[in-house]
Amino acid sequence: MELTVNGVRHDVISPPLTTLLNVLREELYVTSPKAGCEQGGCGACTVHVDGRPRRACLLPLAAVEGAEITTVEGLSEGEELSTVQAAFHEHYAAQCGFCTSGFVMAAEALVNAEPAHPVGRDEIIEALSGHVCRCTGYAKILDAVAAASRGEGSVDNEPAFASTGGEPEGGAPTKGAPA
Amino acid sequence: MKAIGARLPRYDGLGHVKGQTQYVDDVRVHGTLWVKALRSPHHSALIKSIDTSKAESMPGVFAIVTAKDVPKNVYGHLEALGVPADEPLIAEDDVRWKGQIVGAVAATTQEAAQAAVDAIEVAYEEREPVLDIRTAADPGADSFHQWGPIYPHFGPHNHRRVRKGDVDAAFDKADVIVEGVYRPQAIEHVPMETQTSLVVPEPSGRLTIYSCTQAMYFSMGVVAAHLGWPLNKLKFVGGTVGGGFGGKVDTATETICALLAIKSKRPVKWRFTREEEFLVSSTRAPWHVEIRDAVTNDGWILGRRMLTLHDSGAYSRFSPYGLTKHAFHHTGAYTIPNLRFDGFVIFTNRVPTTAMRGFGVTSVSLATEMHLSRVAKVIGMDPFELRLKNANRIGDTTGNRVVMHDPSTVPVTLAAAEAAGIELGADYRAMTSDRRTGDLLPEHLVDQQAPDGEHLMTYRGANGGGA
Amino acid sequence: MGGSPIGAAEVIVAASRGEAIDAFGDGAGVTVVAGGTIVMPDITHRRRDAERVVLIGNAGMSGISSEGGRTVIGAATTLADLSDAVEPLGTCARRVADIEIREQATIGGNLCAPPGVESPRGDLQAALLVLDAQIRSAGAGGERTDPVEDVLAADGSRLVLDISIAEPEAAATATVRRPHAHAYTVMRVCAARVDGEVRIAVSGAAPRAVRLKACEAAAAGGADAATTAERALEDVTPSDDALASGWYRAKVLPVLVRDALTQLG
């Protein structure tokens, strides 16, 4: 079966009922989507199928033959991060990082949806509601997605962290997103 | 010092957002076999026989291990301190919890491994399970555990005790006794990454062990002990743990993978399914806590009697440690001078319990805080004011005689009241953590107050002869 | 765990409704995958034999149309595409899981969800019951149409082709849910007035959705919402599961019935 993953065409040999998750991880060595539950309950396996976010653990290979699959590995161009990736990094939206791939793909679909619009908190929660995180308590993830939807990845996609050279600016350290 | 006050990137942040962070299951070694476990379907049963012969000849099967394949099957991490071990890596003569491992298979695919597991024949003789810690230690109760129903190794005692002051006198003097029972239940850690390890045999004869453990040197010691190997034959590769929260200190998969890797001479990986993670991985323990406080009408807590039962599940693991921490904190953030605490670790036919954030202490915080609110309700006092009155202050001593030098109870309680929009009396709003004097130093708190001016770590009371 | 290895399964990706019907045959040994959100975990974890698997997601069996005053919905229509469907179906479809699941899950799959011992998944079944759903299916003996009650009572050995539902005069839902970022329905009562008759059903109280016929009889006899609700437990005895106890469900069901009927007016 043929599958295009992050722009690369593959002749896949896994059996047709193999989940897309196992095709990606075991046959194609694309490991960003994770086996969090293999039942569609956690969102750690979410990838894009023809641009829409889907649970890779629920899709048999035969159902996505010929489709264009995008994973986190396909978001950045060289060292340049997508706006969503940069926002997640800048806003500390990942701790252990295991859920991050799934959240990023869900956020990409939301932030890049047509027509473009700044998304409110409720809309973000609704779009990401299939994703479980056990570390962060979600607040910084929501901040990151809101920032990304405002186009605030950061200037030139370089995360906006203070440099470690020179004196720190005065005042208490800020946690999370600047307002 | 340039980092202080600066916003710094997480060193692993880029890896996370690019999907490049490597977890154990992302490591790729050619020829890796998959592991599936044979688990007890019974809460409690004798093992009469195990027959792996059919499984051994099934397609794709490279190795099968049962108890007889483990050089040192029973090992406990406190052995070096003289505390005997109780838990086998793989069940030998009996199974003591539903899900306990009876054997494990390494095969070319998960399907092949599971099919082989299904072909292992085990004959069990079921026993009546023990599932309620309240009745497990009743007189005449049968116990499945070789030590009886109660963990016996707390020095000369079979329980953790705290004794302070004269609790009988306190109860005599009280205006009212307030009782409560609190039963926090088991909680599953639910890490997004399930328990996983990958063991690779090296040409040198060493094993490289990719592990999701939170405690690498500890796990290294566990594996080495079960194998009877020196530590320098193991190379542990840790890295990013996909969430642990205390549940990845039990070295759940590494040792069995090591045995299978040695037997099969192939790399071996075991990744728990989410079902395994929920059903058989260790949890935070359930507790049963009974508190009785001797209380005055104006809100002094003169004394506390407390009984705690800690559900260890089928084996002891770290339960004695958790109970000990629980015991040390059984007065909460408050100064109670007369104490009688008894805590027991009880064995049941449940999954062995383990650490989880705040191990031992979250249970006692829940119980003591709920109980204080109950006390406030009974005597008709504002719950914040009750807490402020009894709060730890500088110079107060805890149940185990540690002297408080910088307690935060008062400012935190005041801040909480303000955040909740609660109006407190003027006297209470003015309270600080300063040493107790005047009205805040009633007679029953004098003896426990450490002398001023000396920075003592502990203080046994005016009659107890110093630090 | 049983189940033949997935590598040995015969997999047919139907490209048309006709191909799907042919591949299904009389249904013996066939597993149908539409969206796959319910069936795939069972296949992946070998809880279900996968000898002959027919995929119908791309067989042109989705779509919503009108026929003679009723709405006809293809079995492979996704829940996302039913967001604006006639009430109470629209509400039920919108409140399943999250957007990723809803864009993959289908109404046919939901109708055919195996009876749930834990958290019943037949989220749309109560809506179909009150909308007088007629189920067109293929299988042994050819194509035929059955009322949804019969389909829910059967053992699921037919291929669902499409579902037609009535246009109600009024509709209402009353739900109890667990706190969660998205709807996590414990139990829902659907009510509708169709051709002057009140129909009322509950999902999440039993392994499959149940029509509350005693309540319907009371309502038909002119009883008010509260009185009608007292008969809620005559047609169902809720049981325990991970989401809620049978006791809790039994306490709450009459309240939901009363609320739904009050909304219905």
In the numeric block, the tokens 């050995």 are attached to C157
Mean pLDDT of A132-156: 88
- Asked whether the predicted pLDDT for residue C7 surpasses 90, the reply is no
Pull the structure tokens for residue B295: 């209380």
Q: What's the pLDDT score for residue B4?
A: 87
| Tens-place pLDDT, residues B82-119 | 889 999 999 999 999 999 999 999 999 999 999 999 99
Distance CA A101, CA B409 (A): 41
Q: What's the pLDDT score for residue A170?
A: 38
Give, in order, the Cα–Cα distances in Å from C194 to each of C66, C148, C204. 17, 15, 23
Least confident range from A97-101, A103-107, B400-404: namely B400-404
Residue scoring higher pLDDT (B362 or A165): B362
Rounded to the nearest angstrom, the minimum Cα separation between B39 and chain C is 13
Domains present along chain C, CATH in parentheses: 1-61 (3.30.43.10), 170-264 (3.30.390.50)
- Asked whether the predicted pLDDT for residue A179 surpasses 50, the reply is no
Residue C118 neighbours by CB distance under 10 Å: 11
Neighbours of chain B (3+ CB pairs under 8 A): A, C
Q: What's the pLDDT score for residue C182?
A: 74
Across the interface, which of B4, B17, B25 has its CB nearest the CB of A89?
B17
- Report chain C residues whose CB lies below 8 A from the CB of A128: 98, 181
Rounded to the nearest angstrom, the minimum Cα separation between C1 and chain B is 7
Between the two ends of chain C, the Cα-to-Cα distance in Å is 50
Contact B271 A100 (CB under 8 A): no
Contact A17 C50 (CB under 8 A): yes
**Residue B188 in contact with partner chain C when CB distance is under 8 A:** no
Contact B275 C6 (CB under 8 A): no
Mean pLDDT of A10-34: 97
Mean pLDDT of B111-132: 97
- Whether the upstream peptide bond of residue C238 has omega within 30° of 0, thus cis, is no
Across the interface, which of B111, B118, B273 has its CB nearest the CB of C5?
B111
Contact A86 B191 (CB under 8 A): no
- Whether the upstream peptide bond of residue C88 has omega within 30° of 0, thus cis, is yes
b/e code A57-74 from CB counts within 10 Å (16+ = b): bbbbbbbbeebbbbbbbb
- Asked whether the predicted pLDDT for residue A164 surpasses 60, the reply is no
Q: What's the pLDDT score for residue C181?
A: 74
| Tens-place pLDDT, residues B445-463 | 999 999 998 889 999 887 6
Contact between C152 and C125 under an 8 Å Cβ cutoff? The reply is: yes
- Proportion of chain A in helix, strand, coil states, percent, rounded to 5: 35, 15, 55
Which range, A74-88, B175-189, C177-191, is most confident? B175-189
Rounded to the nearest angstrom, the minimum Cα separation between A55 and chain C is 7
Beta strands in B254-398 (DSSP E): 268-271, 283-284, 287-295, 301-313, 338-347, 353-354
Contact between A85 and B18 under an 8 Å Cβ cutoff? The reply is: yes
In the numeric block, the tokens 């406990």 are attached to B76
Confidence of residue A77 (pLDDT cuts 50, 70, 90): confident
Confidence of residue B464 (pLDDT cuts 50, 70, 90): low
Residue B148 neighbours by CB distance under 10 Å: 15
C150-155 long-range Cβ contacts below 8 angstroms, 24+ apart: C151/C111, C152/C111, C152/C122, C152/C125, C152/C208, C152/C209
B438 DSSP assignment: G
Contact C181 A128 (CB under 8 A): yes
Distance CA C62, CA B141 (A): 63
Contact C6 B111 (CB under 8 A): yes
- Asked whether the predicted pLDDT for residue B465 surpasses 80, the reply is no
Contact between B126 and B44 under an 8 Å Cβ cutoff? The reply is: yes
Least confident range from A34-43, B160-169, C18-27, C153-162: namely C153-162
Contact between A108 and A75 under an 8 Å Cβ cutoff? The reply is: yes
| Tens-place pLDDT, residues B178-215 | 999 999 999 999 999 999 999 999 999 999 999 999 99
| Tens-place pLDDT, residues B292-305 | 999 999 999 999 99
Contact A168 B13 (CB under 8 A): no
Across the interface, which of C53, C57, C101 has its CB nearest the CB of A130?
C101
Confidence of residue C37 (pLDDT cuts 50, 70, 90): very high
In the numeric block, the tokens 């790729």 are attached to B28
A27 DSSP assignment: I
Q: Name the residue of chain B whose CA is nearest to C4's CA.
A: B111
Rounded to the nearest angstrom, the minimum Cα separation between B193 and chain A is 6
Helix residue ranges per DSSP H, B380-467 = 383-390, 409-419, 426-429
Q: Name the residue of chain A whose CA is nearest to B16's CA.
A: A97
**Residue B273 in contact with partner chain C when CB distance is under 8 A:** yes
- Please enumerate in sequence order all residues whose Cβ is within 8 A of that of A99, keeping only pairs 6 or more positions apart, or say none: A34, A36, A42, A43, A44, A131, A132, A133, A134, A135, B192
In the numeric block, the tokens 């009185």 are attached to C227
- Asked whether the predicted pLDDT for residue C3 surpasses 60, the reply is no
Contact B3 A134 (CB under 8 A): no
Say what percent of chain B tops pLDDT 70: 99
Contact between B303 and B171 under an 8 Å Cβ cutoff? The reply is: yes
Contact C6 A15 (CB under 8 A): yes
Contact between C236 and C253 under an 8 Å Cβ cutoff? The reply is: yes
CB pairs under 8 A between B and C: 8
**Residue C178 in contact with partner chain A when CB distance is under 8 A:** no
| Tens-place pLDDT, residues B314-364 | 999 999 999 999 999 999 999 999 999 999 999 999 999 999 999 999 999
- Report chain B residues whose CB lies below 8 A from the CB of C45: 273, 275
Measured in degrees and rounded to the nearest 5, phi and psi for residue C33 equal: -120, 115
Distance CA A95, CA B88 (A): 34
- Asked whether the predicted pLDDT for residue A57 surpasses 70, the reply is yes
| Tens-place pLDDT, residues C49-88 | 889 999 999 999 999 999 989 999 999 999 999 999 999 9
Q: What's the pLDDT score for residue C115?
A: 85
Q: What's the pLDDT score for residue A161?
A: 61
Residue B216 neighbours by CB distance under 10 Å: 15
- Please enumerate in sequence order all residues whose Cβ is within 8 A of that of A51, keeping only pairs 6 or more positions apart, or say none: A68, A70, A109
- Report chain C residues whose CB lies below 8 A from the CB of A63: 13, 33, 36, 55, 57-58
**Residue B274 in contact with partner chain C when CB distance is under 8 A:** no
Q: What is the CA radius of gyration of chain B?
A: 26
Longest Cα–Cα distance of chain C, Å, equals 59
- Proportion of chain B in helix, strand, coil states, percent, rounded to 5: 25, 25, 50
How many residues does the structure list for chain A?
179
Handedness of CA A126, A127, A129, A135 (dihedral sign): negative
Provide the β-strand partners of residue B84.
Answer: none
Mean pLDDT of A143-170: 63
Contact between A13 and A27 under an 8 Å Cβ cutoff? The reply is: yes
Distance CA B408, CA B391 (A): 9
Q: What's the pLDDT score for residue C122?
A: 79
B 9-28 → C contacts, CB under 8 A: none
Across the interface, which of C36, C100, C101 has its CB nearest the CB of A60?
C36
Residue C83 neighbours by CB distance under 10 Å: 14
Least confident range from A158-162, B31-35, B47-51, C235-239: namely A158-162
Contact between B36 and B62 under an 8 Å Cβ cutoff? The reply is: no
- Asked whether the predicted pLDDT for residue A165 surpasses 50, the reply is no
Neighbours of chain C (3+ CB pairs under 8 A): A, B
- Asked whether the predicted pLDDT for residue A118 surpasses 90, the reply is no
- Report chain B residues whose CB lies below 8 A from the CB of A100: 16-17, 19, 21
Distance CA B213, CA B233 (A): 18
| Tens-place pLDDT, residues A3-21 | 999 999 999 999 999 999 9
Measured in degrees and rounded to the nearest 5, phi and psi for residue B17 equal: -80, -15
C 6-25 → B contacts, CB under 8 A: 6
Q: What's the pLDDT score for residue A153?
A: 67
**Residue A82 in contact with partner chain C when CB distance is under 8 A:** no
Helix residue ranges per DSSP H, B286-390 = 319-328, 361-379, 383-390
∠ CA B84-B87-B89 to the nearest 5 degrees?
Answer: 130
Distance CA C35, CA A58 (A): 8
Which is it for strands A68-70 and A52-55: parallel, antiparallel or unpaired? unpaired
Domains present along chain B, CATH in parentheses: 30-126+189-279 (3.90.1170.50), 160-187+283-446 (3.30.365.10)
User: Residue C205: helix, strand or coil by DSSP?
Assistant: coil
